[in-house]
Amino acid sequence: NSFGVHRGTPVTPRSLSSCNFSQQIQRDTYPDAILQAQASGVIHSSFHSLSNTINASMGEYLLESANKLFGEKSARFKEEYMQLSKRYYSTEPQAVDFLECAEDARKQINSWVKTQTKGKIPNLLPEGSVDADTKMVLVNAIYFKGKWKTPFQKKLKGLYPFHVNSTQHKSVEMMFLHEKLNIGYIADLKVQILELPYAGEVSMFLLLPDGIAESSTGLELLESEITPDKLSKWLSEDTMGEDDVEVYIPRFKLEERYGLKTILTGMGMGDAFSQGRANFSGMSEKNDLFLSEVFHQASVDVNEEGTEAAAGTGAIVTGRTGHGGPQFVADHPFLFFIVHKITKSILFWGRFASP
């Protein structure tokens, strides 16, 4: 897992489509039907509709995203491309002076992201991340804050063991909830699935293996088996049903920043990062543009009231509480997905493997 032991977050699809990067990977990835849809403008209008639906929260949750292309000011973007970006993605590329003032350009980009995320992500681009050779940078930052439909009880007193592997554990603060919730089980993988709904049309789904293997997180088999089709089935009514559940999960906050060049190159986008092979002729007359990096940052903060994407000892006694229903005890590594249920879009995904 190139994202490390603790967590992983995706680049949002809007950030790639908004810059017409599909032309760079279509020959490796897209079937003819997708190419035809792209040519007719269906893809752009579909992403526009998707964005509007997700962001129509009616105040029940806050989703802030920042997606923007910053290019060397000498590039001169085509007017047609500028209009397309503005029409479908509510943004347009911005010219900055990488050549003469790279550090000022970096600060300018960070200031824009900070404003868009209401101060939650102030330093997306680290020092030294751009220089005079930089031609184009894509930034993507997303921040989610939601309140649980049913808030957790205040954190349990004391600290509780979270088992990193079969021989090590760390102390964490745990939260407790007793509620009717959707819960399911993937028998062949020995994994529990739980839905924790937020107010509104967003839910967090947790995937928890029954146990952990020696010197590993226990997530390796689950992660190797995940596909879009399988995940859709696991999170559906075919797998999950309502029950009276006792839930124990740790409070946690994950915040991570990634450069996605290596990952996107592995997905077939290598040409976009090559000075000699990149083809952004649809964006600029000069056609000398290439991507230096794609920067992505995400923040998720899970507590009793909800999620902000943003001493003593104790033990949880399982199986002897007398309530008769299932328990979901996340005292070892698990995966989580924050999903917009109407569109079935994954806003965040991650792994919590070590406090």
Question: Which pair of tokens denotes residue 222?
Answer: 């689950």
In the chain, which stretches have pLDDT less than 70?
Answer: 1-59, 64-66, 89-90, 154-155, 213-216, 306-324
Q: CB-based contacts of 80: which residues, under 8 Å, 6+ apart?
A: none
For residues 160 and 123, state if they share a domain: no
pLDDT at 328: 95
Q: Is residue 282 part of a domain?
A: yes
Tell me the pLDDT tens digit for each residue of 8-21: 333 343 444 444 44
For residues 32 and 63, state if they share a domain: yes
Q: Is residue 42 part of a domain?
A: yes
CA distance linking residue 118 with residue 65, whole number of Å: 10
pLDDT at 51: 64
Q: CB-based contacts of 262: which residues, under 8 Å, 6+ apart?
A: 2
For residues 333 and 185, state if they share a domain: yes
Q: Of 262, 284, 300, which one is at a domain's C-terminal end? A: 300
Q: Is residue 5 part of a domain?
A: no
For residues 66 and 212, state if they share a domain: no
* Cα-Cα-Cα-Cα dihedral sign, residues 173, 243, 335, 256: negative
For residues 104 and 187, state if they share a domain: no
For residues 329 and 230, state if they share a domain: yes
Q: Is residue 227 part of a domain?
A: yes
Question: Which pair of tokens denotes residue 203?
Answer: 């839910």
Say if strands 94-96 and 61-72 run parallel, antiparallel, or are unpaired.
parallel
Q: Is residue 8 part of a domain?
A: no
For residues 310 and 174, state if they share a domain: yes
Q: Is residue 337 part of a domain?
A: yes
* Cα-Cα-Cα-Cα dihedral sign, residues 353, 326, 316, 168: negative
pLDDT at 114: 86
CA distance linking residue 349 with residue 259, whole number of Å: 17
> What CATH code is carried by the domain that includes residue 21?
3.30.497.10
For residues 88 and 164, state if they share a domain: no
Domain that holds residue 79: 13-146+253-300
Q: Is residue 116 part of a domain?
A: yes
Domain count, the chain: 2
**3-state SS string for the chain:** CCCCCCCCCCCCHHHHHCCCCHHHHHHHHCCHHHHHHHHCCHHHHHHHHHHHHHHCCCCCEEEEEEEEEEEECCCCECHHHHHHHHHHHCCCCEEECHHHHHHHHHHHHHHHHHHHCCCCCCCCCCCCCCCCCCCEEEEEEEEEEEEECCCCECCCCCEEEEECCCCCEEEECEEEEEEEEEEEEECCCCEEEEEEEECCCEEEEEEEECCCCCCCCCCHHHHHHCCHHHHHHHCCCCCEEEEEEEEEEECEEEEEEEECHHHHHHHHHHHHHCCCCCCCCCCECCCCCCCCEEEEEEEEEECCCEEECCCCECCCCCCCCCCCCCEEECCCCEEEEEEECCCCEEEEEEEECCC
Q: Is residue 2 part of a domain?
A: no
* Cα-Cα-Cα-Cα dihedral sign, residues 230, 49, 58, 305: positive
Residue position matching structure tokens 């292309």: 69
At residue 275, φ and ψ (nearest 5 deg) are -60, -30
Evaluate whether 116 touches 64 at the Cβ level (below 8 Å).
Answer: yes
pLDDT at 42: 62
For residues 167 and 233, state if they share a domain: yes
For residues 22 and 126, state if they share a domain: yes
For residues 72 and 85, state if they share a domain: yes
For residues 157 and 260, state if they share a domain: no
